[in-house]
Structure 1
Amino acid sequence: MHISAKADYAARALLELACEPARPLTCEAIASSQDIPFRFLKSVVGELRKAGLVRSQRGCEGGYWLGRPAEEITLLDVVRAVDGELITLRGESLAGLDYPGAAGALPGVWRQVEEQAAAVLAALPLAALVPAGAVARRPGVGAA
């Protein structure tokens, strides 16, 4: 299984936003704190915005916030927002995969792997990954 750089960067950016719910963060700040290439992050954040996982505001007081509470955004949401399919075979969905003869059972195994990976990622909201006390340490922000 391959976890794309886009999915990794998207999850890391959203976790930064989850730690700063009271104020917007710029892409520059997120890229700097997570050591993510700025240009790549801008593209990833655009996809997260289209998926409704982040919202943005322009201007000197602008930046990005989570589009929904951290408790309502799972890692599965993040991966699907930036990558589409969770697991592909040579770039194709596993849905219609079919092999002849001796390998006939193999597509079922690949789909089972995808189902189990989806279950793990769906069970992990961003809030569960925010370090304990990370939000509470911020002035004027309540405990997570």
Structure 2
Amino acid sequence: MRISAKADYAIRALAALAAEPDRPLVCESIAADEHIPFRFLKAVLRDLRRAGLVRSQRGCEGGYWLGRPAAAITLAEVVAAVDGELLTVHGEGPDDDPGRAPAVAAVWREIRARTEEILTGTTVADLLYANQGAAR
């Protein structure tokens, strides 16, 4: 299974924003702290803003904040915001190819279901608390 760089960067950026809920973070500091290419991060944040997962403000007091509480943002929403459908096979859904053997389609559906379960059951806040526990 492959997680896109875009999804990874989006999750890392949201975790950084969740760690600093009282102040906006500028794209440059997120990129530097999370080792994300700046231009790529700008595109990721644009997708997250369109999905309502972050909000932004321009100017010297500006930057990015979470669009909702970290506990209300699932990783499934993040992946959907930047990548679209969670699992595709050759760019199609698991059941979209009539030539695909039913047993193979069933495996792809099961992988999608289990992945959705993990991503839907994990919030940005969960990542923050996991990081705090690891730092102790």
Verify same fold: TM over 0.5.
Answer: yes
Q: Does 1:107 align with 2:112?
A: no
3-state SS, counterpart of residue 88 of structure 1: coil
With the length of structure 2 as denominator, give the TM-score of the two structures: 0.92
User: Out of 121, 124, 127, which is 1:123 matched to?
Assistant: 121
Identity of aligned residues (%): 58
Task: Report the CA distance between 1:108 and its aligned residue.
Answer: 1.5
Compute the displacement of 1:132 (Å).
Answer: 2.2
Structure 1 residue 95: Cα displacement: 4.0
Give 1:5's aligned amino acid.
Answer: A
Task: Give the count of matched residue pairs.
Answer: 131
- For 1:25, what is the secondary structure of its paired residue? coil
Question: Where does residue 62 of structure 1 map in the other structure?
Answer: 62
1:57-108 deviation digits (Å, cap 9, x = unpaired): 01100000000000000111110110001111111222423336xx332112
* Aligned residue number for residue 41 of structure 2: 41
Distance 1:106 1:50, change over 3 A: same
Partner of 1:11: 11
Q: Is residue 99–residue 107 contact of structure 1 (8 Å, CA) maintained in 2?
A: no
Higher helix share: 2
- Residue type of the alignment partner of 2:22: A
Structure 1: give runs of 5+ residues left out of the alignment.
134-144
Unaligned runs of 5+ in 2: none
